[in-house]
Amino acid sequence: MNLTQATVPFKGSSFNALLTIAILTFCITPVARLKAQPTQPNPAYNQAKPSNIITNSNLSMPPISVGAENTAAYWSIIRNQRVGIVANPTSKIGNVHLIDTLKSRGLNITGVFAPEHGFRGDAENGAHIHNDVDAKTGLKIISLYGKHVKPTAEDLKNMDVVIFDIQDVGTRFYTYLTTLHYVMQACADNNKPLIVLDRPNPNGFYVDGPLLQPQLKSMVGVHPIPIVHGMTLGELAKMINAEGWLKDSIQPKRKACKLTVIPCSHYTHNRSYQLPVPPSPNLPTQNAIYLYPTLCLLEGTNVSMGRGTDKPFECFGAPWLKQGTYSFVPRAIAGKSLTPPFLGDTCHGVLLSNFASEFIVSYKHLYIEWLVMLYQECPDKSKFFNSFFDKLAGTTMLKQQIIQGLKPSEIRDSWQADTEAFLKKRKPYLLYPFDPNLGLN
């Protein structure tokens, strides 16, 4: 690990002391112990596996195949049908987009729905996406972000079946999950079958974080699940359907949608998966994806996590952090971030790329130590949190715990019972093996 680059800032500060403890823990522990090792699965895990699980060893397995590639499993459902597709740049079969593949086989695609960042993935986070026509295919593109998050009966009137195929990164606040929720609601309301073509969860090897409180539902969280849920979108679709989470105040008696999940092959939750296409403009690397569950919480603070740089979600910093081994100046980048925090200001902080690949994947927790450290270092603590933080956290407790000075271990213990209950609740919906003792192989 490059300690000079990644982890030795802020001499003489409380931030330095706390961060040094974390880094020393990492350095003193032998690397062989930190990296996930193949071990014998927990006997309780073997006894508790659901009957519908795909049982494959993590060792010497063939390459992972995503659900979209198994066209034989869903072609009979969609042939001779008018098909709508929820897609973005990650919706690929090999190097060819799903839509191009299906159109080449003569499928009648009558419309495309686009999530946050758009169908071609060139819109920055939070940008309003307008309905459009795709220049390459001539297909109508209907945005499902902004004011129009749920397909209407008018949107669906010329569709007999809907396909959902989008790569997720495994956090509650990543909005593709919310898009799936509203698509499921619309399909249930309009009696349209939904096919979810499943893809691996790159952060599917652990579960951590507080459960969402109902009063904090928003586009960055609609389900009572932890921040890091450890499930694929296909598994979550099954859970959303069966747990009755599609019901709301408008439709309190809404029934489940007609759901088919086409699973991945040769995937387990403990198996590493390198994303072939960035899932969104500001998650361009695998390290950013591993760091995202923790660093996204900084969006609710006055700390930058690197938007407007070439290292988004691989660093953090702020102008008020006067020392640090890494500095950056956020700038406007078309298609990524036009108005990043601290635009044009020099931010001092830490580059975390090596820390992600050499520690985070073995830690198997949100690294809330950073939140605690940064709050303690902030010179004006009244301005540290903004109104978005509670929505991202899904609870009002985390902010208060940090303000009260609780230790990271005490904060994590406060949601442990809820995490354990969630692990039990989700078990019938898992499609792939998971052993909490294995980490990431």
Reference 67, options 220, 211, 225, 237; nearest CA is 237
CA dihedral sign, ordered 11, 290, 86, 193: negative
Q: What is the pLDDT of residues 415-424, one digit of tens each?
A: 999 999 999 9
| Residue 342 tokens, joined | 């601290």
Provide mean pLDDT across the span 129-145. 82
- Using pLDDT thresholds of 50, 70 and 90, give the confidence band for residue 409: very high
Average pLDDT in the chain: 87
Walk me through the domains of the chain, giving residue ranges and CATH numbers: 3-35+282-395 (no CATH), 67-262 (3.40.50.12170)
Helix (H, G, I), strand (E, B) or coil at 122: coil
Tell me the backbone φ, ψ of residue 162, rounded to 5 degrees: -120, 135
Residue 40: count of CB within 10 angstroms of its CB:
9
Angle at the Cα of 277 from the Cα atoms of 83 and 258, rounded to 5 degrees: 30
What is the CA 61 to chain-centroid distance, rounded?
25
CB contact at 8 A, 398 and 294? no
Is pLDDT of 26 > 80?
no
| Percent of the chain clearing pLDDT 70 (strictly above) | 84
| CA geometry: angle 61, 62, 64, nearest 5 deg | 105
In this structure, are residues 158 and 61 in contact, taking their beta carbons and an 8 Å threshold?
no
Interatomic CA distance for residues 430 and 229, integer angstroms: 12
- Within 10 angstroms of residue 219's Cβ, the number of other Cβ atoms is 16
CA atoms of 188 and 143, how far apart (whole Å):
19
Query: Can you give the pTM of this predicted structure?
Result: 0.87
Q: Is the pLDDT of residue 280 over 90?
A: yes
d(CA 402, CA 146): 31
Give the three-state DSSP class for 323. coil
Closest to 225 measured CA to CA, from 245, 235, 210, 206: 210
Q: Is the pLDDT reported for residue 14 higher than 90?
A: no
Do 318 and 302 contact (CB within 8 A), yes or no?
Answer: yes
Residues 88-119 pLDDT 10s: 999 999 999 999 999 999 999 999 999 987 78
At 59 the pLDDT is 54
**The predicted structure's pLDDT at residue 138:** 87
pLDDT tier for residue 357 given thresholds of 50, 70 and 90: confident
Is pLDDT of 439 > 90?
no
Cα–Cα distance measured from residue 203 to residue 231, given in angstroms and rounded to the nearest whole number: 8
218 beta partners: 221
- The Cα 83–Cα 171 span in angstroms is 28
Q: How far is CA 62 from CA 57, 268, 324, in A?
A: 10, 12, 44
Average pLDDT over residues 37-51: 33
Q: Please name the residue that has the structure tokens 């880094």.
A: 23
Strand ranges across the sheet with 347-351? 315-318, 347-351, 326-328
Q: Residue 334 has which token pair?
A: 């078309």
Q: Is the pLDDT of residue 127 over 60?
A: no
Do 55 and 81 contact (CB within 8 A), yes or no? no
SS3 state at 162? strand
Q: Give 262's strand partners.
A: 197
Q: Are 215 and 224 in contact (CB under 8 A)?
A: no
Here the contacts of 173-176 (C-beta below 8 Å, separation 24 or greater) are 173/220, 173/221, 173/227, 173/296, 173/391, 173/392, 173/394, 174/279, 174/292, 175/115, 175/116, 175/145, 175/219, 175/220, 176/115, 176/116, 176/233, 176/279
Tokens of 102: 């299906």
pLDDT of residue 361: 87
